[in-house]
Amino acid sequence: MAIFEKIFPDPAQPRLTRAVTGRDHHGAQVETRVVEERPLTIFLNSREIVTAMTIGDYPEYLALGFLRNQGMLRPHDEVTGVEYDEDLAVVVVRTAQETNFEEKLQKKTRTSGCAVGTVFGDMMEGLEGLALPASPLRTSWLYALSRQINTMPSLYLEAGAIHGTVLCREDEPLVYMEDVGRHNAVDKIAGFMLSHQVEPADKLLYTTGRLTSEMVIKTAMMGIPILASRSGFTAWGVEIARQVGLTLIGRMRGERFVCLSGEERLIYDADPRAAPAEDRRHRRKGAAGDEGPSADE
């Protein structure tokens, strides 16, 4: 089993938010913290691949995870280096040999808007013949994870306007990444797993975002058999999850959740009535008073 240091959000990092002064609905002057976003350009060897808008932490993980989840880095590709230049806001991922995907790509820009996550045909090709492990999932783990994750200090609770993705094992959060787009957050997790050779078979991925086709595809490409969220589903996301045998759980709030795929992994070992009710803070109210994303954001 890989040994690594857990990573959790650090809302106190000065580069990630800034204080902005404005007026509230009473006309009173208020100061609130808002999330920073900045461009990061990713190169695969000598080819510029994409410019992503990101909060700027863990750029090496983001670059590795993006390339892996888009199918541009295959399991047999040998990564020889990951170089980050903070002044240029550039990450260069180098491989022992040029990959097949560099010549297929044109420059694309991903903004912080969640609706414009880029889906390449190569991602769907990567799902052919995929077999996810039949790891069990206890409902007691879901309730414990929901309680821990939704009350943990985070940029979301500090400033809102951000998504989180958490790599978990049983009822234990291991790595918690945040970013302005849920796709960036899950790519950081993928990059972390690739860098530290983390075994995916016994892991669960939790996201604050919608359970869309791209989120399902990325989770399956990472080899993780379970994807859970507070948010809702898309029909294509459910369809793909069923095709690849991914357990897909959404609308996790208090005692409630809905499983629309892979329910055979579920072990009902907890009484839902014993799950703690979510108070206002559990609903991830931002520190500045904003309610943050809705259930289906």
Dihedral sign computed on CA atoms, order 236, 237, 238, 241: positive
Mean model confidence pLDDT for the chain: 86
What single-letter DSSP state applies at residue 274? G
Instruction: Tell me the domains of the chain and their CATH numbers.
Output: 38-125 (3.10.20.10), 137-274 (3.40.140.10)
Which amino acid does the sequence have at 182? R
What single-letter DSSP state applies at residue 194? H
* Residue ranges of E strands in 77-221: 79-85, 90-95, 108-110, 137-138, 163-169, 172-179, 203-207
Q: What are phi and psi of 259, to 5 degrees?
A: -110, 120
How buried is residue 96: exposed, middle or buried, by Cβ count under 10 Å (0-12/13-18/19+)? exposed
Longest Cα–Cα distance of the chain, Å, equals 61
pLDDT tens sequence across 162-218: 999 999 999 999 999 999 988 999 999 999 999 999 999 999 999 998 999 999 999
pTM: 0.86
pLDDT tens sequence across 19-50: 999 999 999 999 999 999 999 999 999 999 99
Which amino acid does the sequence have at 121? G
The pLDDT > 90 percentage for the chain reads: 66
Token digits of residue 23: 């007026």
Residues 254-267, mean pLDDT to the nearest whole number: 95
- Per-residue three-class SS string for 83-107: EEECCCCEEEEEECCCCCCHHHCCC
